[in-house]
Structure 1
Amino acid sequence: MSNLDDDKPVPRGELTLQVVPLPADTNANGDVYAGWLVKQMDLAAATVAGRISLGRNATVAIDRMEFLAPLRVGSQVSCYCELQDIGRSSMKIQVEVWTLDRNAKRQRKVTEALFVYVAIDEHGRIREVPEQ
C-alpha cells in the first residue's frame, strides 16, 4: 500500500459472508437491528472456526463491539474474518463488517469485534483443536 492509499481503508481478512438485510431485519427507521448484525458476524466467524477445528465449536466470548455507522436495509453486508490466535481448544477470530449502500461506489466499515470459540465434541465437551 502506498501513501496515496492511506485515506482509503480496506477490509482485513477473508470475505466469509455476504448478505442483504431485508425490511424484517430493521427497526421503524429502516436501520438494521444490532442483534441481526451480531448474528451474521457470529455465523461468519463460526464458519472459520469450524474449518479450523474440523468439527463443532461454540461461541464463548465476543470482545467489545462499537458501531461506527448505521446499517440500512438493502445494503450489501460483507463479513471479513481473520484468525488471530489458536489455543489448545480455542480460536480467536477478528470479524470486520463492511457495507456497500445501494447508491454508493465504495464500501464503508460498520463495526468489528473479536469472537472467541472453543472446539467441542459430539457430547458438547471441550476438545483440542487439531494441529494446523
Structure 2
Amino acid sequence: MTDTPSTIPDQRELVLRVMPMPADANHNGDVFGGWIMAQVDIAGSVLPARISRGRVATVAVNEFVFKQPVSIGDLLSFYASVVRVGRTSITVHVEVIAERNPANPHVVKVTEANLTFVAIDKEGKPRQIDQHA
C-alpha cells in the first residue's frame, strides 16, 4: 500500500462484549478459534468504520495470537485501538480480555491481533479517508 501514515494517539476503546455459547465450542469444550477470529474481525471494524465514515473491508490479518483458551461462560471484552491511518486503509490492534469464574473473578488476556481495513465505496472499490472530518 502507498498510504501515508498519520499520527494516532494510542487509546483503546471497548468496542464489543460477548459471551460464547455452547454451539461456539469444539469437542474439547474450548471455543473455536475461528469463532474468536470472526468476533475480532467484527470488533476490529468498529473504529475504521467510524473514522472512514462508511464501509470498510478487512484486507489483512497482520498478526493473530491466541494466548489462552476461551471457555463457555467467559465474558469476552474486545478493546480496539488505531495503530495507523493511511490514505485508504486503517490498521487496528484488538485485545480480547476474558472475565472468568464469577464466583471468584479472574481476568486474563486471551487473544490479540492486528488487522488492516480498507475504506470502500458502494462498488467495493477503495476510497480515500477524509482525515479532517
TM-score (ref. length: structure 2): 0.87
> Could you tell me how far apart the structure 2 residues matched to 1:102 and 1:24 are?
20
Which ranges of 4 or more aligned residues in structure 1 deviate by more than 6 Å? none
Task: Quote the residue 1:122 is aligned against.
Answer: 122
- Extract unaligned runs of 5+ from structure 2: 1-10
CA contact (8 A) 1:85 1:93 kept: yes
Structure 1 SS opposite 2:58? strand
CA contact (8 A) 2:44 2:92 kept: yes
One-letter code aligned to 2:22: P
CA contact (8 A) 1:60 1:118 kept: yes
Name which of structure 1's ranges 95-104 and 30-39 shifts more when overlaid on structure 2.
Answer: 95-104
Give per-residue Cα distances to partners, 1:38-63, cap 9 Å, x unaligned: 11111011111110110001000011
Give per-residue Cα distances to partners, 1:55-82, cap 9 Å, x unaligned: 0010000112121111001110110000
- Extract unaligned runs of 5+ from structure 1: 1-11
- The number of residues matched between the two structures is 121
TM-score (ref. length: structure 1): 0.87
How well do the aligned residues superpose, as a CA RMSD in angstroms? 1.2
Percent identity of equivalent pairs: 40
| Higher strand content, 1 or 2 | 2
